[in-house]
Amino acid sequence: MGLRIMVFLAVLTAVTGSPSVTTRPESDSADMSAHPNSVPETVEETEPEEDVMATGKLNPNHYPAQRAAKVVQHYLNTRYGSPYRVFGLHKVHSGNAEDVADSGRKYQLDIMVQDVMSKVEKCSAEVFFPKGKQQQQSSPQVQASCEELRKIDTSVQEEAFYQQYKNQSLLSANLPDSYGRIEPEMEPLWHLGSVASSFTMLNESTEDTLYNMAQVANITQLETENDQLKFDYHILLHEMVSQEIIHWKLLFSWSPSEGVKVLQMEQLPHCHDCEKPPNTN
């Protein structure tokens, strides 16, 4: 009888194995800033199990490489964006990370970005994330080389947009609407919000965040005494790691010659009763 009990326990142990089981959450790859008629981003399936602080060669589909590449996207929009030039991350080809003494971490990336005209461009970039007190005082530092980027010419469309709104006032809300739609004539204003919000997303980004613009809740065009168009935007950012929707007020100007200049950024209080923005996939 004793022998039978011992055999039974041995078989039970072999079947059940170790009681220590690790369950990892699935990554949420939904890009709420995407729209059928805006930047056609390709979002790779990210794997959250890779350590965010990994060094050396990175898996291009994992969070560390994807987050650093998103920062490059925001940087390019702040440098080259307009109502007709908005860049989205298309693909991460390769990435490498290394610690830089006690000051932060540096990422080296080879990526592809895609603009609203569906033109895909290759870029090499370096992203430095400061840490400690420096992280609280400065945004990520980005250097990027995209050889063909400057050749994209949207001057005709931009001048027409500028003349259209130079002598009129504008009020608009909810881009996209509750059904995830943006009317074609409103798309340049959505793109302009994407560019302006890139300044905020670049400034707020760390190794632990992944930002997209979810919605433009409200647009007010303001009077100006110079040749710049001036706008007050209320935008909603989607922080995809925490799944938090963050409200920001952006005051900025734009003209074809001067580009987007953000005059003021203000994070608004969390709104518990606000309707969630639509998923525009």
The separation between the first and the last C-alpha atoms of the chain, rounded to the nearest angstrom, is: 64
pLDDT higher than 60, residue 111 = yes
Does 20 have pLDDT greater than 90? no
CA 164 to chain centre: 29
d(C-alpha 121, C-alpha 48), whole Å:
27
Query: What pTM was estimated for this model as a whole?
Result: 0.79
Q: Would you state the structure tokens that stand for residue 48, as one six-digit string?
A: 């959250």
Residue 164 has pLDDT above 60, yes or no: yes
Strand partners, 266: 249
Distance CA 23, CA 12 (A): 23
pLDDT single digits (tens) 238-281: 999 999 999 999 999 999 999 999 999 999 997 665 555 555 44
**Closest by CA position to 99, among listed 148, 136, 54:** 54
pLDDT of 171-226, one tens digit each? 898 999 989 999 999 999 999 999 999 999 999 999 999 999 999 999 999 998 88
Arithmetic mean of pLDDT over the chain: 81
Looking at the DSSP bridge assignments, the partners of residue 89 are 113
What's residue 273's pLDDT? 54
Check residues 142 and 16 and name the one with the higher pLDDT. Answer: 142
Q: Which amino acid is at 87?
A: F
Stretch 73-94: mean pLDDT: 96
Q: Which CATH number fits domain 56-267: 3.40.50.1010, 1.10.10.10, 3.10.450.10, 2.40.50.100?
A: 3.10.450.10
pLDDT band at 21 (very low <50, low <70, confident <90, very high): very low
Report strand pairing: 259-267 vs 244-255. antiparallel
